[in-house]
Structure 1
């Protein structure tokens, strides 16, 4: 019989306990290309998923290039099985699974009911092939735009090779989950399917307007300037250099939260910006809630969790009009869409908002309600439905 356990990250109307006692749990193999101690969107999503599976009475096991067994937030022990790892030549901080052999013996030993492939690449492909060999259904979550990554980092074969590889990976899985409707459409255009929509959840306690800190604001914007910020991995694909003109605006202070290979170059290019490094927990929640405006120039975001977190904190966002943020930001309602690639146009938009506090306040009032229904509890249950669906389909007679 399953034990009823309080579910974290619930909102009004969310179910408050685990599945009905007596409902059999699934053993879910979660395959992650990166994992702890790395800090990025994929790792955060995996941790949230694993926690939710455990809370709901399922048995998650993580297969990754790093990490160790740990205790989930509900007290369940989570097994982490590691594989050989490598580091990208131009991105030494990121530890990835290196090309591996046949994973069939590993998957057979772990005996999952279903395999969850988190942003699959090399490890995900090997695991998907092993699952297919063993007749275990699998779900592949598309989270990282590998084609854009290949273009920006000038990887061999470029975007065309990346899409060929992605078709191979996702074609081996039974279902692909896309985090946003623009991403789902892009996948279908490139011959990947079946595709279903699975957005990410947001922690409404960590990211909340009540965490706004006047003392922190006074430290970051001592002259009462408009406080504009971004939370991102400091990497080439985030295009944070386009925030340079914003950092020079009078009456504006730019705050950058995060770390990565571009930190030194960005610090030199934007000497007036405040770089706070990697933050988490309550510290991150306080910084985000203390902003007046969130600005994210990335054009290759499949979802952009940082934008959703800013909205949850009551902070409107100005974002590039492409990819995942299109599902989150409604122009002139809870934020603004920046079309094109001209950073001076982006700076002009921010300057206009600096001079129009009424418009900024109106968007701020609409920010949190626009994402309040997107709790991790609800998104986790939606994912479990997808996992159960592919498992049920696999059990049908041919």
Structure 2
């Protein structure tokens, strides 16, 4: 441990109360629960993007949004955590605050995920201290209500989509994206866009709830069915999948794009593949639909609520490798008319779940949680 770290930790017991006292002086004139503070995980990944979207929406409703760096010291205000893990895995005190969080995923009893059980058990004990919970799908809503929390505190709001950032692609946009990402124009490109390795390093240890082993199994079998197959990977910690594709002889490209540029990856692919065992979203459901890319997903998270098999996408049961292979091959061979109908229906689904379309649901969640103008 470095000297700097030892000094910082030694000073923490003194520094934290001083910071809270200073914040108290700066905010003592604020009416109670007149500011919204949005807490996120440290990594700039999905939850950071959702935090920015929530801050934008709250501001548009006339809500005062405070700086995220004040979350640990503020009192008598309203704090919404973008993940239940940030709040429920640690001792917490209300300090007069109203507390809320997103409970995207975390089914208790999941093998190898003791943090799921810990969060669930804490919510069972302390649900009276929680004021709002966002869930993204019916299955997780049932899980959360099983803790005994009042149904009036639980709001089902899917992870939305910015339809201005994720626009329907054109043939020219697809060619441009392939050129930018160094993908052969003639290849059949399958996209897998997520973080599916443990931690934030190379990701050689698989995060099995995300299904990286299933992605590799599908790729290995699909290469025998689809000529010029190439996988496009985005996101951090994809080492396990990359190693598996290399062993199977499946060509791939791995790029890490900022959230604002992820649409380019969708523009380049022929099929978006989701093979997860558990999800809160995934965001890929609405992102692929908004861009007009065929989606094949397992029955997880909000995909189970939003995807209608062979209407706006294709869906199979969790761990159904055979189904993933067969429907991937089906999409690769499908006539243009079938793909066009799915594209059109998928676009309608995306528009129905855009951030703007979900605004009334968020207003309902925030009403009574934080002060907002009556006319918003």
- TM interval, shorter chain, is 0.7 to 0.9
Deviation at 1:124, TM superposition (A): 5.3
Alpha-carbon separation, structure 1, partners of 2:178 and 2:292:
15
Higher strand share: 1
Higher helix proportion (structure 1 or 2) = 2
Equivalent residues in 2 for 1:150-229, closer than 5 Å:
151-153=111-113, 155=114, 160-168=117-125, 170-194=127-151, 195-210=154-169, 212-217=173-178, 222=184, 224-229=186-191
Q: For 2:319, what is the secondary structure of its paired residue?
A: coil
Aligned residue number for residue 367 of structure 2 = 388
Tell me by how many angstroms 1:189 deviates.
Answer: 3.5
Q: Secondary structure at the match of 1:389?
A: coil
Residues in 1 aligned to 2:320 and 2:169: alpha-carbon distance in whole angstroms:
35
1:39 corresponding residue in structure 2 = 44
Is residue 195–residue 236 contact of structure 2 (8 Å, CA) maintained in 1? Answer: yes
Question: Are 2:273 and 1:265 equivalent residues in the alignment?
Answer: no
Q: Which moved more, 1:291-300 or 1:338-347?
A: 338-347
Structure 2 gap ranges (5+): 1-32, 198-206, 372-376
Residue 115 (structure 1) aligned with residue 79 (structure 2): yes
TM-score, with structure 2 as normaliser: 0.74
- 2:215 is matched with 243
Deviation at 1:227, TM superposition (A): 2.2
In the alignment, the residues of structure 2 paired with residue 314 and residue 171 of structure 1 have an alpha-carbon distance, to the nearest angstrom, of 43
For the Cα contact (< 8 Å) 1:198–1:379, is it kept in 2? yes
Distance in 2 of aligned mates of 1:223 and 1:182? 40
Checking the alignment, whether the CA contact within 8 Å between 1:299 and 1:323 is kept in structure 2 is no
Structure 2 residue matching 1:139: 3-state secondary structure: strand
Which deviations, in whole Å up to 9, do the C-alpha atoms of 1:161-202 show, x marking residues without a partner? Answer: 442134345442023221112221222234444222122221
The residue aligned with 1:253 is 230
Structure 1 counterpart of 2:53: 48
SS of 1:50's equivalent in the other structure is helix
Quick one: distance in 2 between partners of 1:126 and 1:267?
Answer: 34
Structure 1 residues 27-67: Cα deviation after superposition (integer angstroms, max 9, x where no partner): 112233x03xx133222111111122234332222xxxxxx
How do 1:42-121 and structure 2 match up within 5 A?
Answer: 42-61=47-66, 78=67, 80-81=69-70, 106-108=73-75, 111-112=76-77, 114-121=78-85
Q: Which deviations, in whole Å up to 9, do the C-alpha atoms of 1:340-397 show, x marking residues without a partner?
A: 41323311221122122343332122211111132223434532332223458xxxxx
Seen in structure 2, the aligned counterparts of structure 1 residues 223 and 375 have a Cα distance that, compared at 3 Å, is closer
What are structure 1's unaligned runs of at least 5 residues?
1-24, 62-77, 83-102, 393-398
Q: Provide, for residues 318-346 of structure 1, a one-character-per-residue CA deviation record: whole Å limited to 9, x for no partner.
A: 11113321122111101111114132331
DSSP-derived class of the 2:50 partner: helix
Given the alignment, which residue of 370, 379, 384 partners 2:358?
379
Following superposition, the deviation at residue 140 of structure 1 comes to 2.6
* 353 and 126 in structure 1: CA distance in 2 versus 1, 3 angstrom threshold: closer
| Alpha-carbon distance in 2 for matches of 1:141, 1:290 | 31
| Partner SS for 2:38 | strand
Q: Distance in 1 between matches of 2:86 and 2:184?
A: 48
Show the counterpart of 1:234.
Answer: 196
Could you report, residue by residue, the CA deviation over 1:104-134 in whole angstroms, capped at 9, with x for unpaired residues? xx232xx42x22232123545768x533x52
